[in-house]
Amino acid sequence: VQKTQEDSDLEFEWISGLHEVDPPAEFEHYFGEKPLYRFMPFNGIRAYDDLFTKWRQCPDGASTEENMRLLFGSEENFLHQKACLQETIDAVLKAIDDDPEI
């Protein structure tokens, strides 16, 4: 954000995520004051079910296929993540379409 303020021809447009969240207990003040948002649905209490937490737990040397199974689990979970990603892309594109300055 600071770099965008240094150039007078450039503005930063902030787009908040779509889902309000509670951060994990150890990060309560790390991200600033509430409300906090993410683009993917997430609740700090359910962190162990979160895609990004699983990503950090991928074992070294695991094959791509093994990591995909660990990250996405069932086909139903994968389709849910895909739907969330599409929802995020749609929201970003709508913000761009709604603001002729972007």
Q: How confident is the model over 47-81, as pLDDT tens digits? A: 556 667 777 777 777 788 887 777 766 666 666 67
45: pLDDT strictly greater than 60: no
Structural domain boundaries in the chain = 2-98
pTM of the model: 0.52
19 - beta bridge partners?
Answer: 38
DSSP codes of every residue in 26-91: GGTTTT-SSPEEESS---GGGGGGSHHHHHHTPPTT--HHHHHHHHH-SHHHHHHHHHHHHHHHHH
pLDDT of residue 2: 66
pLDDT of residue 37: 86
In angstroms, the CA 102 to CA 37 distance is 22
% pLDDT > 90, the chain: 7
In 3D space, the residue among 12, 15, 9 whose CA is nearest the CA of residue 1 turns out to be 12
Higher-confidence residue of 62 and 84: namely 84
